[in-house]
Amino acid sequence: AQKITQTQPGMFVQEKEAVTLDCTYDTSDPSYGLFWYKQPSSGEMIFLIYQGSYDQQNATEGRYSLNFQKARKSANLVISASQLGDSAMYFCAMRELSTGANNLFFGTGTRLTVIP
């Protein structure tokens, strides 16, 4: 079974509008972390935001916020006030902490295009 599912291959958003990128996850580990990364055409993976499974509040980092719904196993990324530079691939990833390993399981990504 897929540990991370991103159902939106591509999304379009008007500049200055907000957009939500969906992510659902599957794990039986009670202790896990969820990540969002941005991958521009240059190829590097840029860390955006992190949510721990025991965090009580949704994570926020500037224009990025994570809508964490634990019971639904979803961790959607919300980008507010979209900018042209936000056009990129976005990946949701999960780390299962109880195993002691630190490898990340990634989804297939969502390509976001910001329209001027």
Partner 1 sequence: EAGVAQSPRYKIIEKRQSVAFWCNPISGHATLYWYQQILGQGPKLLIQFQNNGVVDDSQLPKDRFSAERLKGVDSTLKIQPAKLEDSAVYLCASSFFKLGGYTFGSGTRLTVV
The contact set with partner 1 (CB under 8 A) reads: 4, 37, 42-47, 50, 91, 93, 95, 97, 100-104, 106-109
The C-alpha atoms of residue 27 and residue 110 are separated, in whole angstroms, by: 21
Burial class (CB in 10 A: 0-12, 13-18, 19+), 21: buried
Tokens of 116: 């001027």
- Beta carbon nearer to partner 1, 1 or 71: 1
CB 83 → partner 1: shortest distance, Å?
22
- Beta carbon nearer to partner 1, 85 or 116: 85
CB 79 → partner 1: shortest distance, Å?
19
Scan for tokens 């399981």, then name that residue.
Answer: 105
- Beta carbon nearer to partner 1, 14 or 99: 99
CB 15 → partner 1: shortest distance, Å?
26
